[in-house]
Structure 1
Amino acid sequence: MNTDERSIPRVLGALTLAATFLLAGCASDPSHLPTGATRAQTLQQLGTPTAVYPLPGGGERLQYSRAPMGTEVSNVDLDAAGRVVSNRQEMQEYLFDRTIDAATWRQDDVLRTYGRPYEITRVTSYDGVVWTWRYKTLNSPRYLYIYIDRAGKVTRYHTGPDLTRDMMLDR
């Protein structure tokens, strides 16, 4: 047996391993979860959520966040019977205006939608805290900033570039 023939099993093994990781990645991707799946099927496919929140009407939200360093937060909503009724990746810029309601939102609404932030900071020009999440738009790293006053009410939000990641990517 020559050297080329001996390397074939190693190459096939490496390809099999790569295919396994690729399929495992797809299986753990919330976007592949079908509407109507049961809670048990969801947990089997996606694993333990990073957070669970009760929803009106007896349902619940299973949150899968890649924060603090990641850029995705997926919310899988289950009805009272424990079946998937919606599944959405929240960290999308076009959704922020539709989702964030500074007139009514409180800290709990922010957590239920975006999960724990990347960081919580204070700025001298604001009497409260600023919660920050990472996200991407067209592979461009960005931040979502949500301002929460001392009473726990959301007062505003804005987005901005993640200049630290931009600089790291330029190297």
Structure 2
Amino acid sequence: MVCKRLSAALACAAVFALAGCAQPWQGFTAGEDQSAVIARLGPPREIYDLPGGGKRLMWPTQPMGETTTAADVDASGKVVAVRQVLQPSEFYKAQIGTWTKQDVLVHFGRPEETAYFPLMKREVWSYRYLENNVWYQLYHFYFDPEGILRLTQKTPDPLHEPERNRFGF
């Protein structure tokens, strides 16, 4: 009985310890030099130009991971913001009919996967993410032949879907 209680207590402690772990995008202060971000996260895997001479530095965990840390720095190399961009609040900023492939690329980095649906005449870029720290999802951006965003969609990530019986049981 004591062993079961101890096991339960240790399991709870482990959950709380993990919940308290700082994520890579946390703990940075606006105004600090970009070298502090690079020292902590390593060299960025992707770099994009922002309006006004700034840069977006990105550390994706795609294709198998669900996060991309993005650090926006101004023209002088000072940190403006550091955040995780593969999340609903960021995806919902995408503007249908206005954003282009370049806008999506700069905001979210390279997609985990691309596909083309000839009947729809749409190219689709997909990003793996974890919604509400619970649901493994894919967020899809559909572009018309001119590269304009026409549709977004989220679906369960088949990588994390349990095997289903072919007969629905």
Correspondence for 1:123 among 98, 117, 128: 117
Q: Which residue matches 2:148?
A: 153
Q: Which residue matches 2:70?
A: 75
1:101 paired to 2:57: no
- Residue 155 of structure 1 deviates from its aligned partner by 1.1
Number of matched pairs: 143
RMSD: 1.9
- Residue 69 of structure 1 deviates from its aligned partner by 1.0
- Residue 107 of structure 1 deviates from its aligned partner by 0.7
- Residue 123 of structure 1 deviates from its aligned partner by 2.2
Q: Counterparts of 1:13-92 in structure 2 under 5 Å? A: 29-92=24-87
TM-score (norm 2): 0.77
Partners of 2:59 and 2:70 lie apart in 1 by: 6
**Native 8 Å contact 2:24 2:69 kept in 1:** no
Partners of 2:158 and 2:41 lie apart in 1 by: 32
Any idea what the Cα deviations from partners look like across 1:42-73, whole Å, max 9, x if unmatched?
Answer: 21111111111111111111111111111111
Partners of 2:116 and 2:74 lie apart in 1 by: 37
- Residue 124 of structure 1 deviates from its aligned partner by 4.1
Can you give the 5+ residue segments of structure 1 that lack an aligned partner in the other structure?
A: 1-21
**Native 8 Å contact 1:77 1:87 kept in 2:** yes
Any idea what the Cα deviations from partners look like across 1:126-161, whole Å, max 9, x if unmatched?
Answer: 102111110111321101010012222111111111
- Which protein has the larger Cα radius of gyration, Structure 1 or Structure 2? 1
**Higher relative helix content:** 1
Partners of 2:154 and 2:119 lie apart in 1 by: 17
Can you give the 5+ residue segments of structure 2 that lack an aligned partner in the other structure?
A: 1-17, 164-169
Instruction: List 4+ stretches of structure 1 deviating above 3 A.
Output: none
AA aligned opposite 1:127: K
